[in-house]
Amino acid sequence: MSPSIGSRSLLKTTAAQPMEMKGRPYRGWLHIDGEHLRTKRAPEKWIAIGIDSAIATLKSEARAR
């Protein structure tokens, strides 16, 4: 799954929101409000999602070369 497809899916199915900096969206990046990270497992879940996304991006870039 490409990171952008994964991001769109997470936006539809979780509390994730598009990441913005200086009022501009960062494509493929997500923001999770602290209220959704209060349990011990919640940050672990999002860290795993981030790692999986980074690996998918690296694999995609390697195939493109």
More confident residue, 20 or 7: 20
The predicted structure's pLDDT at residue 64: 86
* Domain containing residue 27: 3-64
Alpha helix stretches (DSSP H) within 1-65: 3-13, 41-64
Locate 6 and state its tokens: 């994964």
The whole-angstrom separation of Cα 45 and Cα 32 is 12
What's the pTM value of the predicted model, to 2 decimals? 0.71
Structural domain count, the chain: 1
The predicted structure's pLDDT at residue 5: 59
